[in-house]
């Protein structure tokens, strides 16, 4: 299946997109398994074509480019190298390809930022954010359901909530930093995130019960 | 299962890879004990992944894939990633921090039956410490400065607010006056997060911050 044929069109809504997303997820799960099993470079290139521009966007929005123009591209290289090496850890029953790749990108970003800040300790990001955890409790079905809900409901979020959620989840900013940037009280940021999580139909935290 | 957990804000910051190293290590250690919070982190990671996929793409350099493959081919084939050993005692992240065992750490002994060791100071000036209370040890009444954390990693203790077992992630603040006592049936091991030392006065200053150099 050609990647370009199933790339979702931004702004497209409804059933078609959901179907496309399911196909897209299946497609990349297959490609990751081929990389794991056979070191298949064509499958790897398909993954690169789709995800590299997203990883680069993640690097840019995390502010990496302020610290060096080459850094978002370096992040792409490091993340793709990790995907190549760790493909056998990918388990489609546990996570969607995008979730797995996001966690790798997050961990690599943490390690790059630490090197820049010249802050070191004895642990690297993979020691703290364990990619191999044996959490069979939450399988593909769960991740699929969450991704479906989130995809659907994200579009319906008021702009102010969506903006904050995107900043909090992707931009390497604490709630406090987001509050400072938007000149909002910390409590307002926290309650907007919380409202958004409710609308995304996530289970409530243990603390909120 | 414990009643004491990180807040959802802390779990979101952990899931997005934001925040202080000491706090993230403590959250990671809590997850070792807490399937509920693990589940929440996985949900937040799914949210992040959807947002990640919805980003406006940024074009990569033309020769990016060729460079990547050249790098891969020039390196020796990666060793198969070994299955991690099951942690012998403490959460994996703690085992990694104290790779040479608890007895090789530098300990200070502020009182009989209590010793503390500073594991690291992070980029935000938070100190991650390990506390070892002997069974039945009682620490005198004291309070805390804002946003300090204790996480039980073995055994348990009680104070005026409740009882805490393995995994309890306890938020301590200035309102929290307590004199914790380790359970009688075994030693209690805690991770703690405190602000970097400031000079404190009074006889129990070291309890507020045992990492003060006297």
Report how many Cβ contacts below 8 Å link chain A to chain B.
Answer: 197
The lowest-confidence range among A4-18, B35-49, B138-152 is A4-18
**Pairwise pLDDT comparison (A138 vs A75), residue with the higher score:** A75
Query: Is residue B144 within 8 Å of residue B173, measured between CB atoms?
Result: yes
CA–CA separation, A6 vs A3, rounded Å? 6
Q: Which of B26, B37, B3 is nearest to B163 (CA)?
A: B3
Strand order of the β-sheet with B181-182 is: B162-164, B157-159, B181-182
pLDDT at position B149 over 50: yes
Helix ranges (H only) for chain A are 3-6, 15-38, 41-61, 71-86, 97-116, 125-128, 140-154, 159-170, 175-182, 186-199
Total domain count, chain B: 1
Q: ipTM of this model?
A: 0.89
**Closest CB from B7, B38, B42 relative to A207:** B7
Chain A residue with minimum CA distance to B72: A81
CATH code assigned at B110:
2.60.120.10
Where residue B26 falls among pLDDT bands split at 50, 70, 90?
Answer: very high
pTM of the model: 0.89
Is it the case that residue B2 has pLDDT exceeding 90? no
For B86-95, the pLDDT digits (tens) are: 657 899 899 9
DSSP B17: T
Q: Which residue of A has its CA nearest to B38?
A: A135
Domain ranges, ordered by start, for chain A? 3-135, 157-209
A186 compared with B202, residue with greater pLDDT:
A186
Compute the average pLDDT of residues B64-72.
96
Among A54, A98, A102, beta carbon nearest to B57: A54
Question: B123 and A117 in contact (C-beta within 8 Å)?
Answer: yes
- Its CATH class, for the domain covering A157-209, is mainly alpha
Looking at A102-106, B110-114, B149-153, which range is the least confident one? Answer: B110-114
Q: Is the pLDDT of residue A207 over 50?
A: no
On average, the pLDDT of chain A sits at 83
Q: How far is CA B99 from CA A34, B95, B102, in A?
A: 36, 6, 8
Phi, psi of A187 (to 5 degrees): -60, -35
Question: What tokens were used for B187?
Answer: 């030693």
User: Cβ–Cβ of B93/A128 closer than 8 Å?
Assistant: yes
* Predicted local distance difference test score (pLDDT) of residue B191: 96
CA distance B166 to chain A (A): 17
Task: Say if CB A98 and CB B50 are below 8 A apart.
Answer: yes
Task: Give the best residue of A69, A99, A117 to mutate against chain B (max B CB count within 10 A).
Answer: A99
Using CB atoms, which residue from B28, B67, B122 is nearest to A77? B67
What whole-number distance in Å separates Cα of residue A54 and Cα of residue A62? 12
- Nearest CA to A144 out of A96, A98, A103, A197 is that of A96
* Tokens 């997005």, located at residue: B16
Tell me which residue range forms the domain holding B30.
1-214
Tell me whether residues B45 and A103 touch, CB distance under 8 A.
Answer: yes
- For residue B76, what pLDDT is reported? 77
Q: What is the domain class of A3-135 according to CATH?
A: mainly alpha
Nearest to A127 among B35, B93, B120 (CB): B93
pLDDT given for residue B129 in this prediction: 94
Interchain pair A170, B48: CB under 8 A: yes
What pLDDT shows up at residue A10?
Answer: 46
The Cα–Cα gap between A134 and B48 comes to 21
**Residue to test with chain A: of B9, B15, B40, B46, most A Cβ within 10 A:** B46
């Amino acid at each position: 299946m050609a990647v370009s044929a199933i790339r979702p069109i931004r702004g497209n809504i409804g059933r078609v997109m959901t179907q496309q997303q399911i196909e897209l997820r299946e497609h990349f799960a297959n490609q990751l398994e081929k990389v794991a099993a056979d070191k298949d470079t064509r499958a790897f290139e398909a993954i690169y074509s789709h995800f590299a521009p997203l990883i680069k966007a993640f690097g840019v929005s995390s502010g990496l480019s302020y610290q060096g123009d080459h850094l978002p591209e370096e992040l792409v290289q490091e993340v793709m190298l990790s995907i190549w090496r760790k493909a056998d850890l990918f388990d489609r029953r546990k996570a969607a390809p995008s979730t797995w790749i996001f966690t790798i990108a997050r961990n690599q970003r943490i390690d790059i930022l630490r090197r820049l800040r010249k802050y070191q300790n004895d642990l690297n990001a993979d020691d703290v954010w364990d990619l191999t955890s044996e959490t069979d409790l939450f399988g593909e079905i769960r991740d699929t359901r969450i991704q479906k809900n989130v995809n659907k409901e994200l579009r319906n979020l008021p702009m102010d909530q969506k903006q904050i959620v995107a900043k909090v989840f992707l931009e390497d900013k604490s709630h406090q930093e987001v509050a400072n940037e938007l000149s909002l009280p910390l409590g307002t940021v926290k309650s907007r995130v919380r409202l958004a999580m409710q609308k995304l139909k996530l289970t409530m935290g243990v603390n909120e019960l | 299962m414990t009643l004491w957990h990180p807040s959802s804000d802390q779990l979101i910051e952990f899931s997005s890879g934001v925040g202080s190293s000491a706090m993230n290590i403590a959250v990671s250690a809590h997850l070792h004990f807490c399937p509920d919070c693990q589940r929440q982190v996985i949900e937040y990671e799914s949210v992040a992944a959807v947002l990640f996929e919805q980003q406006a793409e940024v074009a990569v350099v033309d020769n990016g894939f060729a460079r990547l493959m050249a790098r891969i081919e020039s390196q020796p084939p990666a060793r198969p990633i070994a299955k991690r050993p099951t942690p012998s005692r403490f959460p994996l992240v703690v085992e990694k921090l104290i790779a040479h065992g608890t007895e090789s750490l530098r300990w200070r002994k502020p009182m009989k039956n209590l010793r503390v060791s500073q594991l690291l100071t992070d980029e935000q000036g938070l100190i991650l410490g390990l506390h070892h209370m002997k069974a039945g040890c009682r620490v005198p009444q004291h309070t805390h400065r804002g946003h300090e954390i204790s996480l039980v990693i073995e055994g348990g203790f009680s104070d005026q607010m409740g009882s805490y077992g393995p995994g309890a992630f306890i938020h301590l603040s200035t309102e929290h006056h307590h004199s914790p006592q380790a359970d009688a049936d075994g030693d209690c091991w805690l991770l703690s997060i405190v602000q970097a030392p400031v000079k404190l006065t009074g006889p129990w200053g070291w309890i507020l911050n045992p990492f003060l150099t006297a």
